[in-house]
Chains A and B, each alone.
Chain A
Amino acid sequence: MARRYLPVAAFAGLIVAIQLATFFTGTAYHLTQLTMTAYYSLVTVGLCMLIGYAGQISLGHAGFFAIGGYVTAFLTTCNLKLHPGVLVSVLEKSGLLVARSDAYGGSLLTVHPWPACGVAILLAVVIAYLVGGPVLKLKGHYLAMATLGFGIIVYRMVLGTEFLGSADGISDVPGFPLLSGMLITGNSSARVSNYYLAWGLVILGMVLLLNLIHSRVGRALAAVHGAEDAAGAMGIPTARYKLNTFVLSAVFAALAGVLLTHYNGGIGPSEAGVMKSVRYVAIVAIGGMANLWGALSMSLVLNYLSLRGYFGTYDDAVFGVILILIMLFAPDGLLRRHILSDLKRAVSRNPAEEEAS
């Protein structure tokens, strides 16, 4: 048990250390990108669960992210004052709606972020079940292409749908009020609280996934991944377990989509793009496929660098190159479990060689 949670504590320490470091060096602006990184990391660890532990690739997870983001963005910006009706008044009485004014003085009546988030997650779950059922029956490149196809369909839908803003996406999404009066928003004043909130969520997600991996279900998933027919013969409902993991990772993606959309104050079709999905897979691949901590740390580094624009106009190319190199030279990922022993071996060998020479 301690072994499972020790890294979690260490990671939490790292998060606090980073914040303190930015505070004392007066570079708190780094926290903005780090917060965004946290939400992307949520997608990554969910996907890592699916790829690494259930052994199913998905090249369409940006689709789930976009479903979450777009649903909440649409519901919290669509001015229901313009569409009065029985349904609207019923919703208003039930407290699901909120009247607010936008930044330029116009008054709006929109869905409250909490129910919007609920709807977004629910929709992602339903779609994941509907898509996952038939898709997960496929294998190899058929599975890859089918999930890719799903991602492209979502991309095309948001791009072609007028009420989702077409190519412009949706702007002016309000902050997400939490119970304690905290607000998920990109405003600089709420930077520190949002940073902790986002990473707190990631840590919570990690704890949940680590628990799952070490549970009966995690063992069953590993069995399915290792030898599917034998797992079936042991009474493990392989199809259902794969589907559940797919849905679980879709929920992670959708939740990240919801929260990042509130943080950024908007969402655009680029979040649903194929490149985004490929990027998530690339990060999981470098992290070592079945290695949640690897995926998390690579996500932290790469997303942060990308969001700060370090890769310039080579942003997509960088991820393409990473994918190729990893798949060519280290298909098990850079951060695989025995890297420490590899290092030890290398270290212990070197002095011996030096002595010999």
Chain B
Amino acid sequence: MNGRKGMVLAVLMAIFLSGTFAQAAEPIKIGAILSVTGPASFLGGPEARTLEMLVAETNKKGGVMGRQVQLIIKDSGASPEKAFSFAKQLIDEDKVFAIIGPSTSGESMKIKSVAEEGKTILMSCAAAEAIVNPVAKYVFKTPQSDKDAILKIFQQMKKMKITKIGVLSSNTGFGGAGKGQIEKLAPQHGITIVANEVYDKAASDLTAEVTKIKAANVQAIVNWSIEPAQAIVIKNARQIGLKIPIFQSHGFGNIKYVEAAGEAAEGVLFPAGRLLVADVLPKKDPQRELLLRYKKDYMSFCSGEECSTFGGHAYDAYIILLKGIETAKSTDKEAVRTAIENLKGVVGTGGIFNFSPTDHNGLGIDAFEMLTVKKGKFAIL
């Protein structure tokens, strides 16, 4: 009996020891839970490719603190139950240093508590405010907040003297969160919502919806979605002869939607990070250099594919992590977490990040620039 116990102990010791010995040479493991396939693949696809690109770059340069980075990408297909399973797996089994992702708010919300329990840094690439509010110790997010985007739109509306608006949103987390924030913030800015429509994220024709809005006699339309439907909204609106300004969310930041909407996209207004207009940014803009580099690198890495803001979220998540490691000068999860929480002035694709213990997003309204579409290209208003 004693002998057997001893043997088990010895085996366990061996496992433990081999673990610690290997530590020095072992790579830093970073997990990523992204919806590369499934309904949110337009987010997860660019994110995964961006991370692969960045990790290859880091490793070519000799890694971080002398250690290589090992990226473990898990495709969740936007299913929360898989995200849950993968988060557990990455934390308990792979013992990753941090997790980047998930791509969608629903998944992020579900593994928020898993990251907390596992004391592992989670850098969410999803936008919902609820991910960092209430603040969870280990959970950060890189996309700009809906709230700031809406405030930016309202500032613009004030300039254009718009007070009556119609709101369209898709039935996704993104759409729902945006709609909620608009409803909450509009009265504070003297704006009335006279029409409010929710449509299916897979909708292929929204003529009925825009007709309803037209009937409500509004001064502008605000559409909040990240799906292809946002191109359909503007097309259908123009087709029924609606000529009022159309505001889109920062989710419009993909040139493909402009291409898809064709001529109808001309003059659409939307707040977005500066990635989309990197080449026309003033020379002294602090983000310009990084943005141009990301654009170029991504295009060469993905054989000609344009980068999108979504990939940018993963880009930011990764560089913030590395910055955290460099600042903390260690790969101790706790130390890095504290370091990230106190990072200031990190230049990313989404803006300049200033974290604090009460702000795990680090971006403000100045992360947005009001953009429009001119001749099929994004331009600063």
The chain A residues found within 8 Å of chain B, CB to CB, are 24, 26-30, 32-33, 36, 103-106, 156, 159-160, 162, 165-169, 171-172, 186-188, 260, 264-271, 307-309, 312-313, 315-316
B80 interfacial by beta-carbon distance below 8 Å = yes
5 A-B interface contacts by CB (under 8 A): A28-B92, A171-B109, A188-B88, A264-B81, A270-B79
Q: Specify which of B12, B15, B81, B117 is in contact with A271 (CB 8 Å cutoff).
A: B81
B164 interfacial by beta-carbon distance below 8 Å = no
Of B11, B80, B113, chain A has the most CB atoms within 10 Å of the CB of B80
Q: Which of B52-60, B70-78, B232-240, B347-355 interfaces with chain A? A: B70-78
Q: Which of B100-108, B150-158, B313-321, B323-331 interfaces with chain A? A: B100-108
Q: Specify which of A33, A264, A315 is in contact with B80 (CB 8 Å cutoff).
A: A264
Q: Are B77 and A316 in contact (CB under 8 A)?
A: yes
Tell me which residues across on chain B come within 8 A of A308, comparing CB atoms. Answer: 85, 89
Q: Are B176 and A166 in contact (CB under 8 A)?
A: yes
Chain B interface residue count: which class? Answer: 35 or more
Query: Across the two chains, which residue of chain B brings its CB closest to A267?
Result: B80
Q: Are A168 and B89 in contact (CB under 8 A)?
A: no
Q: Are B93 and A27 in contact (CB under 8 A)?
A: yes
The chain B residues found within 8 Å of chain A, CB to CB, are 8, 11-12, 15, 36-39, 74-75, 77-82, 84-86, 88-89, 92-93, 104-107, 109-110, 112-114, 116-118, 128, 134-136, 171-176, 198, 200-201
Contacts known (A104-B134, A168-B104, A268-B110); A307 close to B80, Cβ less than 8 A: no
Contacts known (A186-B88, A316-B37); A167 close to B136, Cβ less than 8 A: no
Tell me which residues across on chain B come within 8 A of A307, comparing CB atoms. Answer: 81-82, 85
Q: Specify which of B75, B81, B176, B200 is in contact with A270 (CB 8 Å cutoff).
A: B81
CB distance from B44 to the nearest CB of A (A): 9
Contacts known (A166-B173, A167-B201, A268-B106); A29 close to B81, Cβ less than 8 A: no
Q: Are A187 and B117 in contact (CB under 8 A)?
A: yes
CB distance from A311 to the nearest CB of B (A): 9
Contacts known (A160-B171, A266-B109); A186 close to B77, Cβ less than 8 A: no
Q: Are B75 and A168 in contact (CB under 8 A)?
A: no
Query: Across the two chains, which residue of chain B brings its CB closest to A28?
Result: B92
A187 to B198, CA, bound (A): 37
Tell me which residues across on chain B come within 8 A of A171, comparing CB atoms. Answer: 80, 106, 109-110, 112
Contacts known (A103-B116, A188-B117, A270-B78); A32 close to B37, Cβ less than 8 A: no
Tell me which residues across on chain A come within 8 A of B39, comparing CB atoms. Answer: 167
Tell me which residues across on chain A come within 8 A of B11, comparing CB atoms. Answer: 24
Tell me which residues across on chain A come within 8 A of B78, comparing CB atoms. Answer: 268, 270
Query: Across the two chains, which residue of chain A brings its CB closest to B118?
Result: A188
Q: Are B15 and A26 in contact (CB under 8 A)?
A: yes
A271 to B82, CA, bound (A): 10
A266 to B114, CA, bound (A): 11
Query: Across the two chains, which residue of chain B brings its CB closest to A36?
Result: B85
CB distance from B105 to the nearest CB of A (A): 5
Q: Are B86 and A309 in contact (CB under 8 A)?
A: yes
CB distance from B13 to the nearest CB of A (A): 11
A104 to B79, CA, bound (A): 25
Q: Are A169 and B176 in contact (CB under 8 A)?
A: no
Q: Specify which of B92, B113, B135, B176 is in contact with A32 (CB 8 Å cutoff).
A: B92
A106 to B134, CA, bound (A): 9
Q: 9 more A-B contacts (CB under 8 A) besides A27-B93, A266-B80?
A: A30-B93, A32-B89, A167-B39, A309-B75, A309-B86, A309-B89, A313-B37, A313-B75, A315-B75
10 smallest CB-CB distances across A and B, nearest first, come from A168-B106, A168-B173, A270-B79, A268-B80, A29-B92, A104-B134, A171-B109, A167-B172, A266-B110, A29-B93
A172 to B134, CA, bound (A): 13
A184 to B293, CA, bound (A): 49
Q: Are B37 and A260 in contact (CB under 8 A)?
A: no
Tell me which residues across on chain B come within 8 A of A168, comparing CB atoms. Answer: 104-106, 109, 128, 172-173, 176
Tell me which residues across on chain B come within 8 A of A33, comparing CB atoms. Answer: 85, 88-89
Contacts known (A167-B104, A268-B110); A32 close to B88, Cβ less than 8 A: yes
Q: Are B93 and A167 in contact (CB under 8 A)?
A: no
Contacts known (A26-B15, A104-B136, A167-B106); A270 close to B117, Cβ less than 8 A: no
Q: Are A24 and B8 in contact (CB under 8 A)?
A: yes
Query: Across the two chains, which residue of chain B brings its CB closest to A171?
Result: B109
Query: Across the two chains, which residue of chain A brings its CB closest to B72?
Result: A309
CB distance from B310 to the nearest CB of A (A): 16
A271 to B81, CA, bound (A): 8
Q: Specify which of B37, B84, B172, B174 is in contact with A265 (CB 8 Å cutoff).
A: B84
Tell me which residues across on chain B come within 8 A of A106, comparing CB atoms. Answer: 134
A158 to B135, CA, bound (A): 28
Tell me which residues across on chain B come within 8 A of A260, comparing CB atoms. Answer: 81
Query: Across the two chains, which residue of chain A brings its CB closest to B169?
Result: A166
A105 to B137, CA, bound (A): 13
Contacts known (A32-B89, A167-B172, A168-B104); A264 close to B75, Cβ less than 8 A: no
Query: Across the two chains, which residue of chain A brings its CB closest to B126?
Result: A168
CB distance from B17 to the nearest CB of A (A): 13
Q: Are A268 and B79 in contact (CB under 8 A)?
A: yes
Tell me which residues across on chain A come within 8 A of B80, comparing CB atoms. Answer: 169, 171, 264, 266-268, 270-271
A269 to B109, CA, bound (A): 14
A225 to B117, CA, bound (A): 50
A267 to B117, CA, bound (A): 19
Tell me which residues across on chain B come within 8 A of A271, comparing CB atoms. Answer: 79-81
CB distance from A43 to the nearest CB of B (A): 13
A123 to B132, CA, bound (A): 35
Tell me which residues across on chain B come within 8 A of A30, comparing CB atoms. Answer: 93
Query: Across the two chains, which residue of chain B brings its CB closest to A160?
Result: B171
Tell me which residues across on chain A come within 8 A of B114, comparing CB atoms. Answer: 186, 265
Tell me which residues across on chain A come within 8 A of B112, comparing CB atoms. Answer: 171
A187 to B119, CA, bound (A): 12
Of A186, A260, A267, A313, chain B has the most CB atoms within 10 Å of the CB of A313
Tell me which residues across on chain A come within 8 A of B136, comparing CB atoms. Answer: 103-104
Query: Across the two chains, which residue of chain A brings its CB closest to B81?
Result: A264
A315 to B82, CA, bound (A): 11
CB distance from B41 to the nearest CB of A (A): 9
Q: Are B110 and A265 in contact (CB under 8 A)?
A: yes
CB distance from A54 to the nearest CB of B (A): 28
Tell me which residues across on chain B come within 8 A of A103, comparing CB atoms. Answer: 113, 116, 136
A186 to B89, CA, bound (A): 12
CB distance from B117 to the nearest CB of A (A): 6
A33 to B93, CA, bound (A): 11
Contacts known (A33-B85, A160-B200, A166-B172); A172 close to B109, Cβ less than 8 A: yes
Tell me which residues across on chain A come within 8 A of B107, comparing CB atoms. Answer: 268
A315 to B171, CA, bound (A): 26
Tell me which residues across on chain B come within 8 A of A186, comparing CB atoms. Answer: 84, 88, 114
